Structure formats: C-alpha cells, structure tokens
C-alpha cells in the first residue's frame, strides 16, 4: 500500500510499531512464563523423586546397622520392591510413568516401566551425577511397546538414593513430555491471558502515543506550510502587482505618446486650419484625463485596493467612444480601420467608467497587436441591449486564436506574444466578473477574433450566468433591429481611413 503511492504514511509507521511491540511482548512474556513454569515443575518433580527415594530407603530392605554401601544394591532392591514404592508414590502423583534405581557406575538394578514406554537401558544414558549436583533433569526419547508404535519424549528426573546420609545409588523418575507441556497450557492459561492483556494494553498505548505524536507533527508541518505559502503568496502578489502596474501603465502611455505626437504635428504645421485649435484642445483634454486616470491607478496600487471598485453606472457608448478616440492616433498609424455601431438606447452598465475604459483599451491593444503594420486590418466595436444585459462586441481581422487556447488566454501571465505580460485579458475577466458579467472569446486561426462582454444593465440586479449563451452573429457589430435603419456593412480593407468619432450620447 505504501509502495503504490511512493510514500509511507504515518499510520503505516504506527501499525508496524504496534505489530513489532505486540510480537516482542508476546514472545518475551511467553519466555518468562515458560521459564517460571519450568522452575515450578522441576521443583515439583524433584520433590516427587526425593519422596520415592525416601520410600525405598525406609522400605526395610536395607540393614539397619553398618555402613551404607551400594555393593549389594542389586540384591536388596529388585523390580518388585521398586514397583511397590512406585505404586505408593503414584497415589500422590498419578502422572509418574516409570522409576529406575541404578548405581553410580550406571548399572540399572531395578526398573518399573508402568506406561507403554520402553527406554534404552544402557549405561551410557545413565551416568552418575557429577559431585555436588543434587538433581538432574533431562529429556529422553522413548519408544512405544509393541502394541503402540508411537514415539514420545520423556522428562527424566534423577536424584541420589540416600541411606543414613550417604549416597548409595540413584533413582530416576520419568514423566511424559506431552503431559508436562499440557500442564503449561492448562495451569498457566491465566498467566498467558494476563500477559496478552498487558501486551494489548501496551500496544494500544503505543498506538495512541505515536498517533498523537504524528498528529502534532503534521499539525506543526501544516502550520509551517501555511506560513511559507502566505509568505510566498505575499511575494507573488507583490510581483503580480508590479506586473499589473507595468501592464496597465504601458498602454495609456503609448496612447499618450501618439496623442502628443498628433498635438505637436498640429502645433508645428506651417498652415493652420480653423479646426486645428479645437483639435488641439480635444487632444489636450484627452491627455489630461488619461494622466488623471493614471494617477488614480497609481494611488490604488499603492493602497493595494481591489481592481473592481464600487460600481457606478456608466454609459457604455460614451466610455467606448472615449477609449477609441484616445487610441485613434495609434490605430491609424498602424493602418487599422475603426468601425463602430452603438445601440441607440444609450445603455448604462454597473461598472466603473475607468474600469470599463481599461477593458476596452486592453482588448483594443490586443487587437492592434494581432493586426501589425503595414498590413493592418479592421477593428469593429458595437453595443447591443439584450433583455436585462448589455453586450459589448469587439472584433478584429487579425491572426486569430486557436480554440484550444480560448480558456487559457484569461489565465494570469499566459500570453502568446513574445513580449506580452499575460495580464491584459486576466484583468478584463476580473473586471467583468467583478461586475457580475461574463466575457466570451470566439476565434479561429486566420479568421480574426471576437470578444463578447455581457454586463448587467445598471437598472437591473440580475447577474449574468457564467454559461449564458450568446446568439451567433455574422458581424461583430450587428445590433438589435430597433429601427428601420439597416445595419452598416463591415468592409475590411488594408488602407488607413479616417472615420468620424461616434456620436456622443
């Protein structure tokens, strides 16, 4: 599971730690419990062997006087004596399987194999106990009697056979290992349960501590990531503000330069016409108005205000006409013909006039870039009232935009121009969306580009749906037929042409 994602999650580490703890705890507990069990059982079996030794020593077969010796042990003790002693001992311990008496030389003098067990009775398996060793416990291998071919392991317990304080031989008692092991699982089950209980409790405690630690670590990491993201976002925002400021200032400055150039041409003309003075005043007013707008824009950026300000109803026709007149010198110099058709109802939209003007300037500047000189082209603008909305249509006869890029062109910093900033259309969408409107792009490579901006009317509170369909038109400036006057035909040519400014309403 961790290999699938390429990462090891926190709960994987916790699960592995808990599993290791449980395995180690159970293993260690079983070792301790089994060790304690062996000590108890060995003491018990040793006591039984010593008891059998005492029974034999007091059975009356040994002389009551004289030194104790193993010389006549094989004469004094026989199988019958041993069996009698075993039977008396078995009353206390019915699990006793056999008993043997043998000398320190390993010679077996008597044996009582009462169970279906046969042992190899050779001296090599019955060596004397080393000096100072009070008892010996070992596991031997037994073979079943002829009527039972089963093999079994025997736990053999050897103790000295004492007579008047002296060792005269050895006695061994045997128990089935299966019985011995069964005692562990039956008598020690409660201890095993307790061990498992504490093991499980320890595992749960470890899981809780590790989970809590992982949670705290992840919380601290998230806080650090949020702090880093906030700092990165602040730096990005500052960089974007600088880019936006540069982009927003560049277009008006370009238009100002062309207007000032036209003004200088009028002033330095050798022959003055009567209309030159009015033309100079008009150009001066435009430059002054644009300078004030740039000053306001700089103040807005310094105060880090939003792009979309409090909406003030603006007359669409007049704002679009002012923007076009401001750009006219630059467009004419680029051999771009301007065609306009405005709705006669003089619609107003709930967008700040400066912001709407900036939208038109950005779209017109993009259109100018799409129709480079000397070939130039045609820029057509029209307004159309539709129900509770006003549609502003801006079409150019430029190179067009591939359909795959129609959505991406509105992303900040995305541009198809070599020296573009990628902010113009992003600001257009931001202004339009902030006013509750929608902007659509219709374009094919080599067939020009049409932008439709649908804005709510100032006297309507209904927002424009994001996916509002717009009926297709054969012309970018095709108006609603509100009168008998036919719509003007768009003629695309490549010559600079003077066009009169739209009527100011």
Domain ranges (residues) in the chain: 10-187, 306-479
User: What band does 456 get if pLDDT is binned at 50, 70 and 90?
Assistant: very high
What pLDDT band is residue 497 in, cutting at 50, 70 and 90? very low
Say yes or no to pLDDT of 472 above 90: no
> Which phi and psi (to 5°) does residue 264 adopt?
-65, -40
DSSP helix, strand, coil percent of the chain (3-state; round to 5) = 50, 15, 35
What is the distance between the alpha carbons of residues 71 and 50, in angstroms, rounded to a whole number? 21
**Same-fold call for 10-187 versus 306-479:** no
How far apart CA 446 and CA 375 sit, in angstroms, is 14
Give the pLDDT score at 299: 65
Q: Which of 206-210, 224-228, 385-389 has maximum average pLDDT?
A: 385-389
On the question of pLDDT at 393 being above 90, the answer is: yes
> By the 8 A CB rule, do 395 and 474 touch?
no
**How many angstroms separate the CA atoms of 39 and 37, rounded?**
5
The SS3 call for residue 496 is coil
Residue in 368, 370, 380 with CA at minimum distance from that of residue 330 = 368
Alpha carbons 435 and 351: distance in angstroms, whole number: 6
What pLDDT score does 109 carry?
75
- Whether residue 388 contacts residue 464, with contact meaning beta carbons closer than 8 Å, is answered with no
Quote the pLDDT of residue 223: 83
Highest-confidence segment of 200-204, 460-464, 500-504: 200-204
Indicate the Cα dihedral angle 360, 364, 366, 370, nearest 10°.
160
**Which of these ranges, 121-130, 191-200, 444-453, has the smallest mean pLDDT?**
121-130
Q: Of the segments 33-37, 153-157, 352-356, which one has the largest average pLDDT value? A: 352-356
CB 401 within 8 A of CB 416: yes
Cis peptide before 42 (omega within 30 of 0): no
Q: Give kind and range of the element (H or E) at residue 339.
A: strand 336-341
Mean pLDDT of all residues in 434-447? 90
Reduced to 3 states (helix: H, G, I; strand: E, B; else coil), residue 445 is coil
SS3 258: helix
The predicted model gives 436-444 an average pLDDT of 91
pLDDT digits (tens, 9 = 90+) for 287-332: 877 777 777 666 666 554 444 445 688 999 999 999 888 888 888 8
For the cut 70, the answer to whether the pLDDT of residue 447 exceeds it is yes
Highest mean pLDDT among 172-176, 188-192, 494-498: 172-176
- The yes-or-no verdict on residue 93 having pLDDT over 50 is yes
User: Which fold is adopted by the domain 10-187?
Assistant: Beta-Lactamase (3.30.450)
- Best-predicted range by mean pLDDT among 97-101, 190-194, 378-382? 378-382
The listed CATH number (3.40.50.300, 3.30.565.10, 3.40.50.970, 3.40.47.10) that belongs to domain 306-479: 3.30.565.10
Alpha carbons 221 and 231: distance in angstroms, whole number:
15
Is pLDDT of 476 > 50? Answer: no
Q: Please check the confidence at residue 388 and state whether its pLDDT lies above 70.
A: yes
Tell me, what's the pLDDT at 285?
78
Residue 133 CB-density burial (10 A; 0-12 exposed, 13-18 middle, 19+ buried): exposed
- Name the residue with higher pLDDT: 275 or 72: 275
pLDDT for res 240: 66
Residue 503 clears pLDDT 90, i.e. is over it: no
How buried is 340 (Cβ within 10 angstroms: 0-12 exposed, 13-18 middle, 19+ buried)? Answer: buried
Res. 181: pLDDT tops 60: yes
Tokens of 37: 């069990």
| 37 or 358, which is more confident | 358
pLDDT given for residue 218 in this prediction: 80
Q: Using one digit for the tens of pLDDT, what is the confidence trace for 59-69?
A: 666 666 666 56
Rounded to whole angstroms, the Cα distance separating 415 from 422 reads 4
Confidence of residue 183 (pLDDT cuts 50, 70, 90): low
Q: 122: how many CB neighbours lie within 10 A of its CB?
A: 9
Q: Of the candidates 113, 116, 183, 182, which has an alpha carbon nearest to the alpha carbon of residue 152?
A: 116
Q: Reduced to 3 states, what is the DSSP secondary structure of residue 453?
A: strand
Are the C-beta atoms of residues 344 and 483 closer than 8 Å to each other? Answer: yes
């Amino acid at each position: 599971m961790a290999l699938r994602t390429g990462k090891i999650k926190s709960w994987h580490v916790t699960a592995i730690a808990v599993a290791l703890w449980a395995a180690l705890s159970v293993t260690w507990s079983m070792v301790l419990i089994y060790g304690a069990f062996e000590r108890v059982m060995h003491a018990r079996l040793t006591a039984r062997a010593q008891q059998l030794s005492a029974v034999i020593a007091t059975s009356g077969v040994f002389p009551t006087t004289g030194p104790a010796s193993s010389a006549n042990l094989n004469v004094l003790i026989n199988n019958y004596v041993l069996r009698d002693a075993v039977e008396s001992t078995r009353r206390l311990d019915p699990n006793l399987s056999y008993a043997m008496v043998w000398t320190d030389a390993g010679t077996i003098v008597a044996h009582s194999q009462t169970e279906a067990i046969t042992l190899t009775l050779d001296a090599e398996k019955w060596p004397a106990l080393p000096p100072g060793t009070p008892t010996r416990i070992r596991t031997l291998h037994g073979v079943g009697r002829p009527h039972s071919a089963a093999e079994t392991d025997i736990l053999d317990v050897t103790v000295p056979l004492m007579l008047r304080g002296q060792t005269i031989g050895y006695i061994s008692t045997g128990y089935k290992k299966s019985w011995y092991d069964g005692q562990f699982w039956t008598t020690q089950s409660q201890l095993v349960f307790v061990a498992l209980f504490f093991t499980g409790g320890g595992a749960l405690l470890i899981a809780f501590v590790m989970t809590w630690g992982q949670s705290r670590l992840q919380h601290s990491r998230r806080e650090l990531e949020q702090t880093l993201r906030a700092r990165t976002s602040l730096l990005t925002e500052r960089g974007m503000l600088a880019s936006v400021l540069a982009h927003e200032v560049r277009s008006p400055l370009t238009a100002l330069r062309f207007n000032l150039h036209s003004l200088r041409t009028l002033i330095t003309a050798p022959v003055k016409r009567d209309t030159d003075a009015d033309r100079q005043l008009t150009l001066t007013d435009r430059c002054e108005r644009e300078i004030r707008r740039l000053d306001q824009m700089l103040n807005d950026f310094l105060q880090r205000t939003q792009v979309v300000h409090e909406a003030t109803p603006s007359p669409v026709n007049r704002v679009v006409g002012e923007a076009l007149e401001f750009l006219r010198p630059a467009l004419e110099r680029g051999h771009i013909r301007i065609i306009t058709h405005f709705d006669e109802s003089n619609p107003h939209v709930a967008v700040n006039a400066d912001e709407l003007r900036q939208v038109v300037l950005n779209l017109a500047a993009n259109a100018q870039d799409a129709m480079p000189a000397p070939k130039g082209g045609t820029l057509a603008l029209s307004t159309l009232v539709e129900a509770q909305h006003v549609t502003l249509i801006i079409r150019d006869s430029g190179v067009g935009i591939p359909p795959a890029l129609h959505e991406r062109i509105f992303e900040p910093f995305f541009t198809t121009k070599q020296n573009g900033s990628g902010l113009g259309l992003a600001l257009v969408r931001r202004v339009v969306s902030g006013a509750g409107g929608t902007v659509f792009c219709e374009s094919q490579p080599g067939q020009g580009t049409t932008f439709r901006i649908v804005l709510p009317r100032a006297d309507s509170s209904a927002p424009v749906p994001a996916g509002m369909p717009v009926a297709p038109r054969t012309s970018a400036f095709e108006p609603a037929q509100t009168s008998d006057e036919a719509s003007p035909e768009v003629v695309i040519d490549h010559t600079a042409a003077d066009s009169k400014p739209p009527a100011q309403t």
